[in-house]
Structure 1
Amino acid sequence: MSAIRASGIYMEYGDQIVLEDINIEIASGAFVSVVGPSGCGKSTFLRMVLGQERPTRGTLTLDGDPLPGEPGPDRGVVFQRYSVFPHLTVAQNVLAAYEFDASPLLGKLFGARRRAAMDKAMHLVESVGLGPHAQKYPSALSGGQQQRLAIAQALAKEPKVLLLDEPFGALDPGTRAQMHALLKPLWREHGMTVIMVTHDLKEAFSLGTRVIAFDKTRIDPQAPGRYGARITYDLDLDPRSPVPVLGFSRPLDPVTIAQEKARSVA
């Protein structure tokens, strides 16, 4: 399970209120796209779920338990800039997650334990399409390949929640489409809850099962930081939901389709 709940969340920096009264429940296994103008607190919300920052007020829980005040293995993250180790090969980058977990002091495994960890690392490397590049260093990879490696790193610890902070913003349209085709099967296979911050509305609607928009509903020209952003739109894009929106509808069953064909022929 990986359900997230935010109740009465405020985030303030001195006199500036960034987020104001955020209340949301994210079901386990959902793919939530977060959109909104620059500076509205999208990445701040993501950092709070990651544990990098703590809300000024309110509660944030994962499966009913308060989120720890620091990042943990139950939450993976992929940033826009490629966060990989430049001195390690592709396979070694993913292997490092297993080595640091099993041997926190040395960060190294030996013998049968290392071979078993390497087998798991190679399985992930191949699942993101980097099998032929396993022995290359990040400097020899394209931007899209480095982002594939970052995703493999984030999945190595089998997190409950995967956080994506504009992960494809620096990629060209063709490479971005490839990353979309990669991410959706991985999300379904691992059953994670995914929260993705993006400025690309097409990306938000094509990948997400739910789109949340942050924006300021009140602005004081004399005190720009007086009010924070709230959730202004919460759109459920899952066609299986009780109330589909934006033209989404339940697919017709075979009987209905057959009836429609017969009627059109008549």
Structure 2
Amino acid sequence: MTQVTVENVWKVYGDQTVLENINLEVEAGSFVALVGPSGCGKSTFLRMMLGDEAPSKGRILLDGVALDAEPSPDRGVVFQKYSVFPHLTALQNVMLGLEFAQSPFMGRLFGKAKKLARAESLEMLKCVGLSNAAGKYPSELSGGMQQRLAIAQALVKKPKILLLDEPFGALDPGIRAEVHEILLRLWREEGMTIFMVTHDLSEAFKLGTRVIAFDRLRTRPEEMKAYGATVTFDLDVDGKSVPPRPEMREELAAAAQ
């Protein structure tokens, strides 16, 4: 389980400030839902957590140690667009992460190591309900099945932190609810710390133990470049989707528009 500390983090591109003065303490095993209007830096924050980008100022710590400057196996990621390889079967898609982790130059395993990776991958496919689809290609899977496959890809390497960038936005409501339950079960079993970007406020409160809203406090035209978004709401909830106060719900709903 991993604790995350965000200290005075800013992100600036040229003369455009996207995020300013982000300070967070996130307990190990938390499920943090990030909400806010489009363009307020939620996905930028996730990319910094992943290591794809570095803060312009400030730092991010994992268990008190500075975040690696590039993606590493301790952080898994799932995007809205299915991040699976179309030329590989479901089993091969999940195995690939283990193969590259253990054999970064060849990307292949042999003998006992390959058997172990295959067994681990089959077990992960079972966890996401895809045991019967191990030999199928992504084109043969529904959207919900492909997203479950993407989750299996991310979790097979046992990451300490899972990053979700609107992973359920393209799913039908019924399929989305099914994948929600799978994710919650795996989160509880694995003890991961999760950060999820979503525009769906009900989803944020259903899944999250903590809901954080990003927004700009300064919106006059002359301020838009010099000042970025920051944390405007930070609410603890209990994993059972306790709703916020009515007035807070309205303000958070406006922030998520």
Shared fold (TM-score, shorter chain, > 0.5) = yes
Q: Which residue of 2 aligns with 1:201?
A: 201
Secondary structure of the structure 2 residue equivalent to 1:222: helix
Contact 1:125 1:134 in 2 (8 A): yes
Secondary structure of the structure 1 residue equivalent to 2:22: strand
Secondary structure of the structure 2 residue equivalent to 1:84: coil
User: What does 1:86-101 align with in structure 2 at a 5 Å threshold?
Assistant: 86-101=86-101
Q: Which residue of 2 aligns with 1:52?
A: 52
Contact 2:17 2:226 in 1 (8 A): yes
**Rounded Cα–Cα distance in structure 2 between residues aligned with 1:116 and 1:81:** 29
Secondary structure of the structure 2 residue equivalent to 1:61: strand
Instruction: Determine if the alignment matches structure 1 residue 174 to structure 2 residue 174.
Output: yes
**Rounded Cα–Cα distance in structure 2 between residues aligned with 1:139 and 1:126:** 20
Q: Which residue of 2 aligns with 1:164?
A: 164
Higher gyration radius (CA): 1
Q: Deviations over 1:66-122 (max 9, x none)?
A: 101100000000001111111110011111111112222221112222112111110
Contact 1:235 1:245 in 2 (8 A): no
Q: Which residue of 1 aligns with 2:120?
A: 120
Q: Which of the numbers 241, 244, 248 marks the counterpart of 1:246? A: 244
User: What does 1:248-263 align with in structure 2 at a 5 Å threshold?
Assistant: none
Contact 2:5 2:25 in 1 (8 A): yes
TM-score (norm 2): 0.92
Contact 1:124 1:152 in 2 (8 A): yes
User: What does 1:1-266 align with in structure 2 at a 5 Å threshold?
Assistant: 1-238=1-238, 246=244
The one-letter amino acid of 1:172's match is: D
Distance 1:217 1:91, change over 3 A: same
Segments of 5+ residues of structure 1 without an aligned counterpart are 248-266
Q: Which runs of 4+ in 1 moved over 2 A?
A: 244-247
**Rounded Cα–Cα distance in structure 2 between residues aligned with 1:6 and 1:110:** 41
Segments of 5+ residues of structure 2 without an aligned counterpart are 246-257
**Rounded Cα–Cα distance in structure 2 between residues aligned with 1:115 and 1:28:** 32
Secondary structure of the structure 1 residue equivalent to 2:101: helix
Secondary structure of the structure 2 residue equivalent to 1:95: helix
* Count of aligned pairs between the two proteins: 244
**Rounded Cα–Cα distance in structure 1 between residues aligned with 2:64 and 2:182:** 31
